[in-house]
Amino acid sequence: MIKTATFEALLSDAVPDGVGGFTFTLEGKTYHLQDQDEVRKIAEAHGYIIIY
């Protein structure tokens, strides 16, 4: 199965955590990020092709 996502859609799922970072959930796994740009690496690790 091919999984694709737009970078903008992924960023919209990165929610500020109140302490300077972000909480990001993808496929039921929650990640705590320091920078929103980390969502790209996480999505690619899940097998997504990112569309910019």
Name the band, by pLDDT with cuts 50, 70 and 90, for residue 11: very high
Range of the domain at 22: 3-51
Residue 16 pLDDT exceeds 90: yes
pTM exceeds cut of 0.75: yes
Number of structural domains (the chain) is 1
User: What is the CA 10 to chain-centroid distance, rounded?
Assistant: 5
User: What is the CA 42 to chain-centroid distance, rounded?
Assistant: 6
pLDDT at residue 43, as a whole number:
97
pLDDT at residue 12, as a whole number:
94
As a whole number of angstroms, the distance between CA 1 and CA 7 comes to 19
